[in-house]
Amino acid sequence: MSHPSPVSRRDFLAASALSAGLFAAGSSTLRAAGPNDKLNVAFIGVGGRGGANLKTISGAGSVNVVSLCDVNTVNLGKASEQHSKARTYEDFRQLYEKTNDIDAVVVSTTEHTHAFATLPALQLGKHVYCEKPLTHNVLEARIITQAAAKAGVATQMGTQIHSMPNYHRVVELIQSGAIGHVREAHVWVSRAWGRQSPEDAKKNGDIVTVLERPEEEMTPPETLDWNLWIGPAPYRPYNDVYFPGPKWYRWWDFGNGTMSDLGSHWIDLPFWALKLDAPKTIEAFGPEPHPEIAPATMKVTYEYGTRGDLPACTVHWYQGAMKPDIWTRGEIPQWNNGVLFIGDKGMVLSDYGKHVLLPEDQFKDFKRPEPFVPDSPGQHQEWVNACRTGSQTGSPFSYAGPLTEANHLGNVAFRAGKKLEWDAANLKVTNCPEAEQFLGRKPRAGWSLS
């Protein structure tokens, strides 16, 4: 079985001493390339989501693709056909050996290598766009948050829904007091991927069924450098239960299941609207934790303290078969996925593309607040503009880092099997030191976050 290599308290604090201001969304002065300059961009990961990022960002206007990197030569070849002048690499560590002509980097690798591909760019003063979730674990999130603050460059985590008008309008409703003070929010997603019976996996449309680490060693595809794909994670032989993606996301060594994947999109809304920072306590519920595989179904409850004049609140996350009691009782529309804000004057229910004030008859004559969250040209264009002009992005790492930490803490609580009391300033679980093994890990030899 795979167990995380513990990271000592000295390692944590040496890597990332926290100041409270890190939890405030970006206020650093950005170094801009100039509004009329060509933006020279390197792309790390160019298949799947990375291919989509490459297409959109390279088409954003005055963007020059200078480097391409992927551990899969099929992906790399297709991208190189479209951008024949770009240098190509399979190992992003080699890409960083020549950066004098690179202004910005787009990271679209698997979750467990995000921080390792992102940190060198920040240390070199390059703008960075990184897909969600920002990092693989809590420690990495803190390191990246701090490195971005020091670099003062344009950063953006790939949570595309954050830039869409629906989320903007919900934030305006909550922050203008349309439903009064909110002390309770519920977030649920219907996806049930992870460790479950073959019968449940079939019923839930999972893409692979696996209950234990396979003993069979398979030969990797000729086009895949499996050793590079493993990267900083503990080495294991290839098997097709890990690749191609997103099969890998259920394995703790490579991902964090639905909690960090969809949590990046869905918990984003209450995190933004309620101006959340670091939770005080985290408690998880679900099946018996497995040392290798994330669960298909689970629930997490976060307790947050007061924030300025905002009251303490709880945020509840549900995935798979679990739903809020108010949903189960049929007291709200039974959307498959949703975010419910419960205030002392009413409720707001939202998904990605729509929202409603509840009870509807109570709000039939409601006058909405004047919009105050600016419209976005889209996540990619927003970041490209920020690289050129120093404007702010919607999901800078100063915001996305703490959001990622909170999501990962849900998994830490699940794996520890206890309600955790969290000291964010010192990266310490004050009541359950055995949970700290899940906060971070030492990377495999040859890989470093320093």
Task: Kindly report, residue by residue over 116-125, the tens digit of the pLDDT.
Answer: 999 999 999 9
Is the CB of residue 231 less than 8 Å from the CB of residue 113?
Answer: yes
State the amino acid at position 257 in one-letter form. G
CA gap 377, 379 in Å, rounded:
7
* Res 14: pLDDT: 52
- Percent of the chain past pLDDT 90, that is, above it, reads 91
Integer angstrom CA distances of residue 219 from 223, 237, 238, 250, 399 = 11, 9, 7, 21, 41
pLDDT in tens, 311-352: 999 999 999 999 999 999 999 999 999 999 999 999 999 999
* Res 6: pLDDT: 55
- Percent of the chain past pLDDT 70, that is, above it, reads 92
Q: DSSP strand E in 242-388: where?
A: 281-285, 298-304, 313-319, 338-343, 346-350, 355-358
pTM of this prediction? 0.93
Mean pLDDT of all residues in 367-389: 96
Structure token pair of residue 311: 């009251």
| Average pLDDT value for the chain | 93
* Res 32: pLDDT: 59
pLDDT in tens, 35-57: 558 999 999 999 999 999 999 99
Mean pLDDT of all residues in 148-170: 97
Q: Which comes out higher in pLDDT, residue 302 or 10? A: 302
For residue 2, pLDDT beyond 50: no
